[in-house]
Amino acid sequence: MKLNNALRPYALKVILGTFAALVLYYFTLFDANLLWLVETVATKVNGARIEAHGLKTSLWKGSFQINGLSIANPFNPSENIVQFDRVNGRILIAPLFRRKLVVDSVDFIGAHFFVERQSYGGLVAENEDPNSIFDRTAPGFTSPVMANIAQTPLRLLGHLETSSELKGKLSTTSNLSTYRRFDELSRDIAALTKLKDSVLSDSESHKKLAELSGRLERLKAGRSPSSVSSDSWVSLHRDALLSVAPLSTTLDQVRGRFNRIRASLDSLDPFIRKDVAQLKSQMHLPNLDGEDLSIDLFTPSIMHYLDRTAYWLDVSRRRMPGGTPKLVRQNKARGAAIHFGHDGGWPAILVRRITFVPSDNNASDSMSGELTNLTSDPSILQSPLAMSVVINSPHSAVSNLKLDVNIDHRTTTPHETINISADSIPVRSFGLNESYDLKFLLASARLHGTSTLDITGDSLSLEWDSSFEEVKYNINSRYHQIQSSLEDAVGPVTNFNLSGRAEGPFTEIRFTIRSELGKSIAEKIHRDFKHQISAFDETLRSELLDKVDPKRKSLQYEIDTLEQAVTADFQSRITLLKDIATIAMARAKKIRS
Amino acid sequence: MHLIHFCLRVLLYDKTSQAIAWALLPGYALGVFPPTSLQWFLALFSIALFRVNVLTTILSALFFFILSHWADGFAGTLGNYLLTQNGLFMKIWPRLYHAPIVPFTLFNQTVVMGYLILTVAMIPLCLSATSFLDSYSSALVRWAYSTDFWQSFIASRFYRRFSQYLRYEIK
């Protein structure tokens, strides 16, 4: 086929036309469409509106400028969590031809925090995904630890107040050791009943008795006493006595077994104690013996934040995988992408520097600092990501909030460090316990202190030393006693220190936490609820005894009836044999005399 | 109606054996490569530039797209082997990865690399399809026209309605 025949007519015109249309599109609609795309994607990621007044790009200079960038607060969409006066950025053009995105610099200028919005910034109204950027968790990362901390004393305190639950639990529980003991004893009684039947219908014993009775009758029926020798009577006497002995032994054995069962029925206390312990554990009653409840109070909230940190950790490890300077492997939905290192080469994506510059119009809020070396291939770049930012916002009561982040994924063992310190940051609604029975929050407080999170591979180490000041609490319980007890405990604690440490693998984090608040609450609820726990034990025991008593009495009756039947039968046979022996001895003596 | 007529003309215009056989190649590229890769765009442009049968391209793209759900594993394994084995290639890949334009082929993705290698197998397939159609297309068309399905189709009201637009195309 000739080339002219192979080519479509007007093909080049179509292609050139397409190119011209693209150029026209860039100069007319590209900026607006790019802004819409950025806003849409960023809003989805944030979980609340991210908007800008305008976006201007220059393809030849490789620069862009965003004016009036506002980021709505996903937890309070009526305000912006932060807004910037403008954002300037510069992209290197040459690496784009090598399919490498290298952002040379991005400047975020003029930050303002917690500014009220003119329009609603949430997404729920439009049925969009409301999952906030700050509220994403890494499933499975910390779930074993979360499961362990679910049953804290404060969560369980309400169980002491619910007597209906006790009755419900007793009526539905069949796996009590007392019941199992009853079953064993019932089986013993059934075995004894069988034994009784076999003993009472023992043909040998009856034959022997009949034979001895027959012999007695025959000897008595002799024509004259002299015709029967005394030896026959002596022999009858001996045989009768010999037959008594095994019957007496069997009777003693059976009686011994009856007595053992009776003793078992009378000593059920250990089983009842065991059942009380089992029921208590099933009902998750609180352990109030601790001297400091800080771990129980603060672990769920700390785990809440760790769980969210784990999400970002997981994202950073997937997007910035470790490797060697020559080769990095990144798993994708379809297979994997292999990134190759080369002298003078760029990583696939690199943001060299993001700078936060305070506003130039003397605004009260300020955010300064920088982030360097944000890249998809840290091991090829051979530089870790570093971020250091200081935030001040007097009108939001944020003073000197410092955030230092270092993410080092240059090797196959990732290492991340996050340091946070603040002279003052406001705390709103810090949850200490949220259960059906009790909602316990730090409604508002001022927090200052430092914390250091260091993660290497799957192992973390978190340390913090902080102070809560001007604390106001919010306590709501279904039960008056719990509410008043906690209100009394936290009343004097308006300022307290909170320090601690968490370490270990993500799935087995061990906590050490100390605070005056934890001690005060532990002391108070120990004092107020300890006697209630003892009373609860006693109630449980008596309820259990009431429940098992009819069964015990029924078994005792069965034993008594059985013993009576067995004893009566044996006694009658023994008496009969003894009578035969007595008669035989008397006749023998008479003949001799 | 005129729009449908135009679409049918575009789909069925090039029906020489070469146009049909070589339409498999862009179809394969459109079906298996990611839409962000250079070869996907090249395939798209090749349809605009060269006389290939558009209907065959669309059908083969669909066929290879469905096939890729099963073939991704094999292509990924093949690509992974080539991209990560120590040898001659380990000196070539970094140069290509940092060269201009070449990285837009996404050759560094294991699945794409696997399919790039399998593209070589497509060229003999296209050549053999050309000679097959040259030899058997008339017999094939005669057989297709004689089937009950086609006979019932041309007797349908649908065919009668649209045959006026097709009379110059399907003989």
Among candidate residues A480, A485, A491, A476, the one with its CA nearest the CA of residue A530? A485
Give the sign of the dihedral formed by CA B118, CA B119, CA B121, CA B125.
positive
pLDDT range class, residue B169, cuts 50, 70, 90:
very low
- How large is the ipTM? 0.80
- CB contact under 8 Å between A340 and B101, yes or no, is no
* A100: chain B residues, CB-CB within 8 Å: 98, 103
User: How distant is the Cα of A141 from the closest Cα of chain B, in angstroms?
Assistant: 28
pLDDT digits (tens, 9 = 90+) for A451-470: 999 999 888 899 999 999 99
pLDDT digits (tens, 9 = 90+) for A364-410: 788 999 999 999 999 998 899 999 999 998 888 899 999 999 999 99
Enter the pTM of the model: 0.70
Angle subtended by helix axes B38-49 and A11-25, to nearest 10: 130
How far is Cα A454 from Cα B64, in angstroms, rounded to an integer?
A: 48
Q: For residues A400 and A368, is the Cβ–Cβ distance under 8 A? A: no
Q: What's residue B156's pLDDT?
A: 84
- CB contact under 8 Å between A8 and B45, yes or no, is no
Q: What's residue B121's pLDDT?
A: 82
User: How distant is the Cα of A435 from the closest Cα of chain B, in angstroms?
Assistant: 47
* A22: chain B residues, CB-CB within 8 Å: none
A169 compared with A273, residue with greater pLDDT: A273
- CB contact under 8 Å between B83 and A334, yes or no, is no
pLDDT range class, residue A195, cuts 50, 70, 90:
confident
A210 touches chain B (CB under 8 A): no
Of A6, A12, A326, which has the smallest distance from its Cβ to B51's Cβ? A6
A23 touches chain B (CB under 8 A): no
B51 touches chain A (CB under 8 A): yes
Whether B137 shows a pLDDT value over 80: the answer reads: no
Cα→Cα distances A383→A127, A312, A320, A406, Å: 42, 20, 12, 10
Q: For residues A72 and A49, is the Cβ–Cβ distance under 8 A? A: yes
Interface mutation vs chain A, best among B110, B112, B115, B134, most A CBs within 10 Å: B110
Among candidate residues A485, A362, A459, A466, the one with its CA nearest the CA of residue A422? A466
How far is Cα A401 from Cα A427, in angstroms, rounded to an integer?
A: 13
- CB contact under 8 Å between A99 and B104, yes or no, is yes
State CA B13 to chain mean position distance: 16
- CB contact under 8 Å between A335 and B111, yes or no, is yes
Taking CA–CA distances from A3, the nearest residue in chain B reads B50
Interface mutation vs chain A, best among B54, B83, B113, B131, most A CBs within 10 Å: B83
Taking CA–CA distances from B73, the nearest residue in chain A reads A335
Of B18, B51, B111, which has the smallest distance from its Cβ to A334's Cβ? B111
- CB contact under 8 Å between B76 and A334, yes or no, is yes
Q: For residues A545 and A496, is the Cβ–Cβ distance under 8 A? A: no
**DSSP state at residue A74:** T
